[in-house]
Structure 1
Amino acid sequence: MYSNGKNLAHSGQGRFVGNLIATIVFLAIFCGAIYSLSFWTLENAWIPGISCFVLFVLAFAIPQHIMGISDRDPAEAASKK
């Protein structure tokens, strides 16, 4: 597909550094979630468990909902089926 003489098929080029930085940040958050489980004991289970859950949700929800999937309008997507 062309627009104004430019090939739009390569519209994602040039975003490697931003994608790499985002991947590193969210991988670090995920590793922090796993590391928080190292503080888990039978006497102290709530704080590591809750922190692991919160970090895990952040590591997966932010990339899925803010950076990717949430830009789709459900009504518009349903009308195109």
Structure 2
Amino acid sequence: MISNGKVKAYSGQGNFVGNFAGFLIVFLMLVGSIVALNFWDLDQVWIPGLFFIGLYGGAFFVAKEVIGRSDSLEQQDLHGEHGEPLDAMASRATSSRESAAEPHVR
């Protein structure tokens, strides 16, 4: 990931408090969904069931859609096809155009 023009070793570097807070939120939502199932019986189905589905689905939604967007880069595309760097793609495209136009004699 690039931050302020410098490449970080990994996307969570230096963000322990934020990462830990995000983990606690998602983990507590998962635990809360399990606790909601303790109140499930044949007389009370809907309220614990809706809490379970909401918390369980919400934990995955928060982790994937809210917290998981921190590694997206909107300004530029750093990687091209198959994860290779863009300069490698450009040189490969240039060499393939040259070979298609006129063959190299070696």
The two structures share one fold, judged by TM-score above 0.5:
yes
* Count of residues in Structure 1 that have an aligned counterpart in Structure 2: 75
Query: Greater helix share, 1 or 2?
Result: 1
Pair 1:16-2:28 in alignment? no
Give secondary structure in 1 for the equivalent of 2:47. Answer: helix
How far apart are 1:80 and its partner, in Å?
Answer: 3.5
CA–CA distance in structure 2, aligned partners of residues 5 and 38 of structure 1: 50
Q: Which runs of 5 or more residues in structure 2 are unaligned?
A: 83-106
* Structure 1 residues 31 and 5: alpha-carbon distance in aligned structure 2, compared to 1, 3 A threshold: closer
Give secondary structure in 1 for the equivalent of 2:17. Answer: helix
Structure whose alpha-carbon radius of gyration is higher: 2
* Structure 1 residues 22 and 36: alpha-carbon distance in aligned structure 2, compared to 1, 3 A threshold: same
Structure 1 runs (4+) deviating above 3 angstroms are 69-73
Q: Whose relative contact order is higher, 1 or 2, with alpha carbons under 8 Å and at least 6 apart?
A: 1
Pair 1:47-2:56 in alignment? no
RMSD: 3.3
Report the AA paired with residue 80 of structure 1. Answer: E
Calculate the TM-score normalised by the size of structure 1.
0.72
CA–CA distance in structure 2, aligned partners of residues 61 and 11 of structure 1: 23
Q: Which runs of 5 or more residues in structure 1 are unaligned?
A: none
